[in-house]
Amino acid sequence: MSTPMIGEPMPGMEQTCLPVIGVCVLTYNSEEVILECLHAIERSLKDVSHETVVVDNHSNDCSASIVERHYPEIKVVRSRVNTGYARGNDLGAKYLVERGCKYIAFINPDVTVRQDTLANMESVLSEHSDAGCVGGIAISNGRVSKACFRTEPTFG
């Protein structure tokens, strides 16, 4: 069986049950920050059909167990080896594509999203079918962090 394209259901899944946004959080020894990250994601998507997967990249701590205990509805994929950043995210993306998610957000465990961030990203992608991806900006102390871009961004 071939893997469906993003937004296409797996055979046998009803279109009305598909999550719109899939969120992949790749962890590696992230037990101190993962719960705050997941709480922010769930708060941001409370009114949006979504599914979250946490991929544990062979952590030495209790990251995966903490997620399973506090968020039993979230799928946890435990990698038997540390596959690196890209392959770890690929594991999560594959799961979310198989679940039929239309959009996928990759969020690091040390990130806290604002309440409307993910819904706003979904809205932009829905309105601009020519856009392949959207990204957020890092805010530190109430200001845009220069670490999140190489050149001054343009808005418009």
- How is the chain split into domains, by residue range? 18-118
Reduce the DSSP state of residue 79 to 3 states and report it: coil
| Burial environment of residue 77 by CB neighbours within 10 A (0 to 12, 13 to 18, 19 or more) | middle
Task: Count the Cβ atoms, other than its own, within 10 Å of residue 8.
Answer: 15
CA separation for the pair 140, 29 (Å, rounded): 23
For residue 86, what are the CA distances in angstroms to 5, 23, 82, 122? 19, 15, 11, 22
Closest CA to 139 of 130, 131, 149: 149
- What would the two tokens of residue 126 be? 């829905």
Total number of residues shown for the chain: 156
**Residue 36's pLDDT band (boundaries 50, 70, 90)?**
very high
Radius of gyration of the chain (CA): 16
Supply φ then ψ for residue 141, to 5 degrees: 55, 35
| pLDDT surpassing 50 at residue 77 | yes
| Mean pLDDT value across residues 60-88 | 96
Question: What is the DSSP-derived secondary structure letter of residue 22?
Answer: E
Residue type present at position 126 = S
Which of 84-98, 106-120, 127-141 is predicted with the least confidence, judged by mean pLDDT? 127-141
Q: How many CB atoms lie within 10 A of CB 124?
A: 10
Which is more confidently placed, 108 or 13? 108
Where are the alpha helices (H) located in 1-156, listed in sequence order?
34-44, 63-70, 85-98, 117-127
Give the right CATH number for 18-118 from 3.40.50.720, 3.90.550.10, 3.40.50.300, 3.40.1170.60: 3.90.550.10
Span 119-124, average pLDDT: 88
Q: What is the mean pLDDT of the chain?
A: 85
Residue 34 contacts residue 23 (beta carbons within 8 Å): no
pTM: 0.81
